[in-house]
Structure 1
Amino acid sequence: MNNLILIGMMGCGKSTVGRLAAEKLGLAFVDTDERIEAEAGRTIPELFDAEGEEGFRARELDVSRALAREGGLVIACGGGLPTRAEAIAALKASGVVFWLNREPAVIYDTVSMAHRPLGQGGKEAFLERFRQREPIYRRWADYIIEGHTLAAEAAGRIAALYERECQA
């Protein structure tokens, strides 16, 4: 069975929408950041401090490859995972990729960035990171879910598209 993969900026709702979609579809939910934290026994900020971004991205690649070998999962990817082509390519080969494309200024204004290593640096840095990642997200997405406001609505749309893909 194919995996359902969610990509997008940090704070766009991947975990919330993913859990709801998994429930609707009767699939297991996995958040790559949570999996990395569980395997490392440390938080993402602690990993960034100890290993830097490159060390964290190496862990992300390992988790991506492992999850790609499984099936029937709803996978919420860390916001930067698609910037590492090897990691997102492994996941894309295992299923259908949905980009939750929420307005970055809205994300920044509504989500606490205090405990997010790459959420530091202020709003302009966050918006610049989005500008850099937008073409990457667009490249890997099979479907783009634009500007959702209700997580349940986005999850319903994603579940319906996923089911249609799996029947094709």
Structure 2
Amino acid sequence: MSAESIFLIGPMGAGKSTLGRLLADVLGRDFHDSDRIIEERAGANIPWIFDLEGESGFRERESQVIDELTQRTDLVVATGGGAVVRPENRQVMQDRAWVVYLRTRVATQLERTAKDKNRPLLQRDDPAKILTELLAAREPHYLALAHLTVDTDDIAPKTLAERIAQEYRIAHENA
């Protein structure tokens, strides 16, 4: 029997990829990272896609990948932080997946992303301001879409993956 896929949403640096791999292991599922799929298909990294196609080109690629992944079952998927900006992405995730919002503080995001040059939206002055603005714009979408919201700041990733798996099982045992 197949089961609903789990999509992890939240800002960059929330731990979506790390937790996604762990959660997939706990549940015995395949893990997919939407950003990595986009890079593989484009044959280029995300900063290059942003430079060549702009954010809108990247978002179009992202929508295609999210639509495809939401049509599959038994997956754990880490999405990009901005996956929720497009209404069509929110709709397919809401209709076809169990969504977990990984919430984190801006200070934690700064620590986790400080050395990562693969994040085009942070390659500007004042990353703290950018992260704060992005969170203000996106958090209403994260909260409205999520079946479960968990804070990732002060908990070990393995412990959090086990907690999310438990919450998923509880939510689906009577479904």
Q: Under a length normalisation based on structure 1, what TM-score does the superposition of the two structures give?
A: 0.95
2:160 is the counterpart of 1:157: no
Query: Where does residue 144 of structure 1 map in the other structure?
Result: 149
Pairwise mapping of residues 85-124 of structure 1 onto structure 2 (< 5 A)? Answer: 85-112=87-114, 113-121=116-124, 122=126, 123-124=128-129
Query: Which residue of the partner structure matches residue 45 of structure 1?
Result: 47
1:24-69 alpha-carbon deviations (Å, 9 max, x no partner)? 0000000000011111111111110111000000001100111111
| Contact 1:32-1:63 within 8 A present in 2 as well | yes
Output the CA distance in 1 between the equivalents of 2:162 and 2:134.
29
Question: How many residue pairs get matched?
Answer: 168
Calculate the TM-score normalised by the size of structure 2: 0.91
CA apart distance, 1:72: 0.5
Gaps of 5+ in 2: none
Equivalent of residue 60 in structure 2, options 49, 58, 61:
58
Q: CA deviation at 1:110?
A: 3.2
Q: Determine helix, strand or coil for the equivalent of 1:93.
A: helix
Fraction of identical pairs, as percent: 37
Offset at 1:17?
Answer: 0.3
The runs of at least 4 consecutive aligned structure 1 residues that moved more than 3 Å come to none
Deviates more, 1:139-148 or 1:113-122: 113-122
Partner Cα distance (1:8, 1:146) in 2 = 10
Alpha carbon RMSD of aligned pairs, Å? 1.2
Match of 1:6 in 2: 8
Instruction: Kindly indicate whether the alpha-carbon contact (under 8 Å) linking 2:15 and 2:152 is maintained by their aligned counterparts in 1.
Output: no
Matched position secondary structure for 1:78: coil
Distance 1:128 1:143 in 2: 23
How many Å separate the matches in 2 of 1:83 and 1:23?
A: 29
1:95 & 1:163 partners in 2: Cα distance?
A: 14
Q: Give the structure 1 partner of residue 35 of structure 2.
A: 33
In the TM superposition, what is the alpha-carbon distance from 1:94 to its structure 2 partner?
1.7
Where structure 1 has 5 or more consecutive residues not aligned to the other structure, the ranges are none
SS at 2:111 equivalent: helix
